Chain A
Amino acid sequence: MAGFENFNLQNFIRNDLIGDYGLFDLFIPLFLIYIIFYTLLTFIEIPKVTEGDLSGKNAKKFRTVVSLCFALLLVIPHVIWGNNANTVASVEFQTGFLAGFPDVVSVVYLFLPQVSLVLIMSVLALIAIQSATSGNNNNVVKTIMDSPWYAGFIALTLTYIFYTSVIGKTVDSSKYLTQEFIGGILFLAFIGWMFYLMFFDGETNTPPTATTPPAGAPGGNV
């Protein structure tokens, strides 16, 4: 096992993979952007594959070259003029011919962890809700997931995440989400719910209507 005595995985990843070979600055963004463009070009059928002379060969060539060119055009400026992934200070290029334009790789690195966090938290929340309401006959999780309010909430969360990632800084939420504000919203929601229960919920408690008994049952069709 000569040569492995001084091997340290952490140092290998930090110094060699990230430091010397640019795992996070070069390869991962390159693959990510390449595969996104390649898949999109394939699914939106650019170029359209025609029968006969092309038979998909030129289309594949086109998608590969265009996706690779786009990926390289976005990643190389990040490597040369972009901020270091460890010390992202701004998502805009400060120097070079793209000064003032957004560094796509930095923006993606800012929002990607938050996006995955939304996905994971959503799954965990739904698991918790399902386990807490398992005695309920209604499928609460399904009701929540089908609700447009839930979709709207997720859309607003995403808007916030993407907005803060593109401008490169977080919005100071303590200015807006004060205790008074949250308390007020909760109080109004509670009042609204009470009014709903008092005035509108009774409409759903309609007496069961007479239904035809199933075939074979007493009084049903034989």
Chain B
Amino acid sequence: MLNDIVCDSNSLYKEWICYFTKEWGLLHFFIPFFLFYIIPYVLISNMKLWKIEDNDTNKAEKEKAYGRFTTIISVIIALVGTVPNFVFSTNGKGVFVEGFLTGVINPVHVVMNSLPAISLAVIIALFSLIVIKGTTNFDLNATKVKGFNTWEIVGWFMVAFVVLVFLRATNIVGNINEFVNIFGSILGLIVIYYVFKYIFFD
């Protein structure tokens, strides 16, 4: 995976980024590791698997134990999720072809391949909101022209979009181009219909 990185740039920053990515696995190991660590860490912290009462005599000790448990479980999840991506090779569909996870889909591959589309959707939605709200009333709290971030249909559209992106990123359903085109077109038409309905008739 790291073999296709060619570091022959004259720019200082490109050289450094290239060096840390190729030699130290910044992109393929460290960043996914932090991501895969912090998500379970916060989730397990918030879950409170065991209740600790305020009047408990061993409260401090129990809190310490739960903190340690959270850290170690999160580190293990992060290591299992990211080290194989760095060490073992995958096929074109992002499925491991060697190591103890042979045949299993590479989670880092899914995250990295779906992130561009999802973040693009987020950024475009945000800038659309800024421009539409900004140009129509200059008052971000005004309700005269409804902000589309309050429409439920946009939420459902985003859900469908994310499902689509994950399907494409995993590649587990084979060639989904046809499916993406048809499904995307139908969704696009539905969204256009609702946008006009809300803008003009609601």
Contacts and interface: CB of A to CB of B under 8 A. Distances in A.
Contacts of A26: 13, 17
Nearest to A79: B17
B199 A146 contact: no
Interface in A131-150: 145-146, 148, 150
A151 interface: yes
**Which secondary structure dominates where chain B touches chain A?**
helix
B11 A69 contact: no
**Which secondary structure dominates where chain A touches chain B?**
helix
A97 B126 contact: no
A65 B17 contact: no
B124 to A, nearest CB: 5
B63 A74 contact: no
B77 interface: no
Interface in A67-101: 68-70, 72-74, 76-77, 79-80, 95-98, 101
A73 B21 contact: no
Interface in B119-162: 119-120, 122-124, 126-128, 130-132, 134-138, 144-145
Given A53-B45, A73-B115, A76-B21, A154 B35 contact: no
Interface string A45-74: 001101001100011011001101110111
B183 interface: no
A118 B135 contact: yes
Contacts of B11: 19-20, 22
Contacts of B122: 36-37, 40
A61 B126 CA distance: 23
B13 A22 contact: yes
Contact of A80 (B21, B46, B120): B21
Contacts of B136: 145-146, 150-151, 154
Interface of A: 19-22, 25-26, 33, 36-37, 40, 47-48, 50, 53-54, 58-59, 61-62, 65-66, 68-70, 72-74, 76-77, 79-80, 95-98, 101-104, 107-108, 111-112, 115, 118-119, 122, 145-146, 148, 150-152, 154-155, 158, 162, 166
For the complex of A and B, the 8 pairs showing the least CB-CB separation, nearest first, are: A22-B13, A20-B12, A122-B135, A69-B35, A62-B42, A65-B38, A79-B17, A148-B199
